[in-house]
Amino acid sequence: MTRLPLMLDVKNLDIQFLNKEDKSWLKAVSDVSFSIGAGKVLGIVGESGSGKSVTSFSIMRLHDPGATKIGGEIDFEEVDLLDLSPEEIRRYRGNKIAMIFQEPMTSLNPVFTCGEQVKEAIILHQKADSQTAKAKTIALFKEVQLPSPEQVFKSYPHQLSGGQKQRVMIAMALSCNPSLLIADEPTTALDVTVQKTILQLLLKLKTERRMAMIFISHDLAVISEIADDVAVMYKGRIVEQGPAAELFRNPQHPYTKGLLACRPSPERLLKTLPVVADFLNENKDMAVAHLLERNSYTPQEIAERRAKLYAEKPLLQVKGLCTWYPVNSGLFGKTKEFVKAVDQVSFDVFPGETLGLVGESGCGKTTLGRSILRLVEPTSGEILFEGRSVTDLNKKDLRSMRRDVQIIFQDPYSSLNPRLTVGNALMEPLQVHKVFDNDLRRKAHVLSLLERVDLKPEHFNRYPHEFSGGQRQRIVIARALALQPKFIICDESVSALDVSVQAQVLNLLRQLQQEFGLTYIFISHDLAVVKHISDRMIVMNKGRIEEEGFPEDIYNHPKAEYTQKLIAAIPGLTALK
């Protein structure tokens, strides 16, 4: 068998960043080595902060040279990229080596159309005239399977869906026919079905163009769908690497075992998800054995829980709920068309239950959650909370009701005021609703909440930007708990987290439910996560309920074609069983 020539060979890579406060150097990557052959995909996997993106940025030489020290070798087609001058590296960057960045919305310029942005890259790198560049852009949009390429050319980023924006970014990366494509978390925030199509598209383009590819992700299940070889990074080092099939079948390093174990599996129902720390602590074998021994629900336990839950009266009843948005006006401003975001939806939620709400972006699940709280006003239908009509409440009574019904938003950073310390952000709802008679008692309550979500008292005086994503999610959970609610709507509350942090937050939500008797609606596009945490599931599509039932029934015997498509799109089902 002929061995393919190496496209990229990284040897003993070390990266340090300058700490501007005390002028010391902080090591981010240590002694990293890997190689990629033409037409092959290397998956680099690890949690946030492991050094994955830092490593890929060094290949592109995107770090600030005045605040970065890079040692080792990065040989691309037998040229050491670290030896090149800034002018020389620009001939490689974008031409022979291209990159798809993690967040397409922040990578695309909002004031230019998508077509103009890709056209500009072609004119810059290929010295093409405007007409030729436009024709090439539209051809690229066709190649990445964008609908109506001519229309997309004229569209602005905000007018496209997440998956469409990601395809525009792929087209831009391919515009100069690179030999090496670096994809940095290109599917993290996408629905599972969109994610699957993007992965299939990347593999198709890689094969047709004979590109080498580095695919970076925190999710081993996604990596299993696309990579030939895998490198696992932890704290700036590669702790394990090898052929993907072999690594998934027989992982050697405790960190790799932890990453594989902590993602919810649709195949089994666990009381508590394993976390990476279980596999890394000194007594890891004992901790993991104990976790697995007592960690699965028995059929009897499930039956007893359901009998207890559904013997109660519903806490929330939704009847024929519609939330429609006008989109087209006719003569004299009369509305002719509506977007039916939520259309004739009915269901009950019982005290202490977790009702999972799953579906793709745009299916209406977030609008439904906000309609229940009347953050979005419903068009018609009825919402009853504890037998009382929410739709008929005046502003004063609605505010009072919201003490009992809270929401955890999808993005914890944007839902926290950057000018307020965490302590003040958590005290604010207590002050608004006049809970406790002074701020001293409110502060004591907030400190106890921080402790309950595994944060420290000193975090009270810090600002949101000083925390990691997982810590910020714990802060917004604490804020939702501040008013001691009965009911919490969790809107995509773990979708952007590393799988290990996601496991910690899911475990925390379940512990809090048991401790405080909480009732949840848990909204997500990830069917595996919803199946893990839910007592019952509802599958939504185009504003309507496709099917509902117990998670194992929906997963094992899906009735709707749409549900079957969602299940088929869950990544890594074969490799990670």
Rg (CA), the chain: 25
- E strand intervals along 306-445: 316-329, 335-349, 354-358, 380-385, 388-389, 405-408
DSSP 296: B
**Cα 320–chain centre separation:** 31
Instruction: Indicate left, alpha or beta for 484 from its phi (over 0: left) and psi (-120 to 50: alpha).
Output: left
The helix (H) or strand (E) run that includes residue 75 is strand 68-76
Distances (CA, A) of 240 to 224, 230, 243, 304, 345: 15, 8, 10, 43, 49
Rounded CA separation 318/309 (Å): 18
Contacts 24+ apart (CB under 8 A), 254-260: 254/279, 254/280, 254/284, 255/279, 255/280, 256/220, 256/232, 258/500, 259/45, 259/46, 259/47, 259/220, 259/232, 259/499, 259/500, 260/220, 260/576
Chunked mean pLDDT (size 10), the chain, 577 residues: 72 92 89 94 91 92 90 94 92 89 78 93 87 94 89 90 84 89 84 85 88 91 92 95 93 90 80 84 62 74 94 96 80 70 96 95 90 94 95 92 90 85 94 92 94 92 87 91 94 82 90 94 90 95 95 93 90 56
Name, in order, each residue with C-beta under 8 angstroms of 254's C-beta and a sequence gap of 6 or more.
279, 280, 284
Rounded CA separation 527/359 (Å): 8
Name, in order, each residue with C-beta under 8 angstroms of 574's C-beta and a sequence gap of 6 or more.
224
DSSP 405: E
- Residue 320's pLDDT is what? 97
Whether this model's pTM surpasses 0.75: yes
- E strand intervals along 235-315: 237-243
**Inter-residue contact 83 to 261 (CB < 8 Å):** no
Give ∠ CA 482-451-520 in degrees, rounded to 5: 45
Name, in order, each residue with C-beta under 8 angstroms of 433's C-beta and a sequence gap of 6 or more.
399, 403, 483
- Residue 573's pLDDT is what? 47
Name, in order, each residue with C-beta under 8 angstroms of 26's C-beta and a sequence gap of 6 or more.
16, 17, 18, 19
Rounded CA separation 33/30 (Å): 9
> Pairing state of beta strands 41-45 and 212-217?
parallel
Name, in order, each residue with C-beta under 8 angstroms of 102's C-beta and a sequence gap of 6 or more.
53, 184, 185, 186, 188
Residue with tokens 């496709």: 546
**Inter-residue contact 487 to 385 (CB < 8 Å):** yes
Distances (CA, A) of 176 to 58, 93, 179, 210, 318: 20, 10, 9, 14, 53
Residue-wise burial string across 206-226, b where 16 or more C-beta atoms lie within 10 A, e elsewhere: beeeebbbbbbbbbbbbbbbb
Rounded CA separation 84/468 (Å): 35
Q: Which two tokens stand for residue 249?
A: 């079948």
Alpha-helical runs (H) found in 281-421: 284-293, 299-309, 365-372, 395-401
- Residue 256's pLDDT is what? 92
Q: In the chain, how many H helices and how many E strands?
A: 23, 20
Distances (CA, A) of 232 to 40, 219, 253, 271, 513: 17, 11, 9, 27, 34
- Residue 246's pLDDT is what? 93
Alpha-helical runs (H) found in 127-236: 130-143, 149-154, 162-174, 192-209, 220-226
**Burial (0-12, 13-18, 19+ Cβ within 10 Å), 61:** buried
**Burial (0-12, 13-18, 19+ Cβ within 10 Å), 506:** buried
Q: Which two tokens stand for residue 53?
A: 């993106």
Residue-wise burial string across 275-285, b where 16 or more C-beta atoms lie within 10 A, e elsewhere: bbebbeeeeee
Comparing CA positions, the residue from 29, 320, 40 lying closest to residue 180 is 40
DSSP 219: -
- E strand intervals along 374-443: 380-385, 388-389, 405-408
